[in-house]
Amino acid sequence: MTPPKQYRALEEAIDAVSASYDRGKPIDNLESAALPNKQRCIEGLTELLPVLYMGFYATRALNRDNLRHAIAERMYRAHDLLVEQIERALTYQNWDGRCEDCPPPGSGEDIVLRLFSAIPEIRRVLNSDLEAAFEGDPAADSIEEIVFSYPSITAITAYRIAHELHEARVPMIPRILSEWAHGKTGIDIHPAATIGERFFVDHGTGVVVGATAVIGHNVKLYQGVTLGALSVPRRGETSKRHPTLEDDVTVYAHATILGGDTVIGQGSVIGGNVWLVQSVPPGSKVFGRPRGDE
């Protein structure tokens, strides 16, 4: 039992914390209790991961007779979680007035059903990403090993789901999902980025793909690559700030490519540690100068 002196000190501390909410700071907003619940959003995503890769997550034998039931279990749970959280996001954003083009409250059911209807296509594209990883990494012994152990697959999978929600103009939740993957993998892919098929991030730690980046098909990035902006725009600007990588581009470790007008032409190779703020034509090979070559 708390002694009287300590009890009074505890009560005084509680009073002080409560009073601190009267000072008008952004974090004092009690309406934020209606915000989406971060953990519930992540649970919605993690219910969908087995739907995308059912054989890798199942705890019992699977066959065509019980597959639909196993998928339905996960999709019903994901449906309930995501509809509720999307409705929270839409309601809050509508109340706050910060998203003029967000869908109105009541759209959550339709958004989730559109996401679910896109899952067969998402699985097809993810399969192409896995094939690119297997073909591009001789250290991988199997597709199964890649699904189980490669952080890039976690990050790319989260991106593909988050991107669908971003395209549906869902506020906040796409970033919650992509930042969950960022925290787990060290790979930061903004859900607004546009990324083609057969995308592979090798090793991956420290990779950054900005919101307006455009990446074509069959692109490979190594660890530490940044596709970033040259400057920080004013909030609300919609201009393209991040580079474009055309098809069949490879970017080696710790290269930095900046700027919305920067285009890396098809089939180019960008070497490690290169700093690039201008476009290069298709088929280019860009490498840093050897030491002593002044």
For residue 290, is pLDDT > 60?
A: no
List the chain domain ranges.
Answer: 35-186, 193-294
Residue 37 has a CB neighbour count (10 Å cut-off) of 13
Hey, which of 55-69, 151-165, 232-246 has the most confident mean pLDDT? Answer: 151-165
Cα separation, 28 vs 4, in Å, equals 30
In the chain, the percentage of residues whose pLDDT exceeds 70 is 93
**Maximum C-alpha span of the chain:** 77
Residue 61, pLDDT score: 87
| 196 vs 2 pLDDT, higher one | 196
Mean of per-residue pLDDT scores for the chain: 91
Spell 200-234 as b/e; 16+ CB within 10 A means b: bbbbbeebbbbbbbbbbbbbbbbbbbbbbbeeeee
Residue pLDDT, tens place only, 207-228: 999 999 999 999 999 999 999 9
Q: Which of 203, 204, 180 is nearest to 191 (CA)?
A: 180
> Given a cut of 70, is residue 32 above it in pLDDT?
no
- Cα angle, residue 115 at apex, residues 148 and 236 outer, rounded to 5°: 100
Query: What is the topology classification, in CATH, of domain 35-186?
Result: serine acetyltransferase, domain 1 (1.10.3130)
Contact (CB, 8 A) for 158 and 166: no
Domains 35-186 and 193-294 equal at CATH topology level: no
What span, in angstroms and rounded, lies between the C-alpha atoms of 89 and 75?
Answer: 20
Residue 10 pLDDT: 85
Binning pLDDT at 50, 70 and 90, where does residue 291 land?
very low
pLDDT at 97: 65
| Residue-level pLDDT at 24 | 76
Query: What fold is seen in the domain 193-294?
Result: UDP N-Acetylglucosamine Acyltransferase; domain 1 (2.160.10)
| Contact yes or no for 187/155 (Cβ under 8 A) | yes
Over residues 17-38, the mean pLDDT reads: 79
pLDDT at site 292: 41
Q: How far is CA 50 from the centre of its chain?
A: 18
For residue range 138-195, list pLDDT tens digits in order.
Answer: 999 999 999 999 999 999 999 999 999 999 999 999 999 999 999 999 999 999 999 9
Beta bridge partners of 228: 258
Q: Which residues are 73's β-sheet partners?
A: none
Tokens coding 82: 């995501």
Q: Which residues on neighbouring strands pair with residue 286, listed in sequence order? A: 270
**Lowest mean pLDDT segment, chosen from 89-98, 124-133, 246-255:** 89-98
Q: Which amino acid is it at 209?
A: V
Which tens digit of pLDDT belongs to each residue from 83-124? 999 999 999 887 766 677 889 999 999 999 999 999 999 999
Q: Which of 204, 129, 131, 134 is nearest to 163 (CA)?
A: 129
Contact by Cβ (8 Å): 103, 166: no
Write out the two tokens for 72. 């339905």
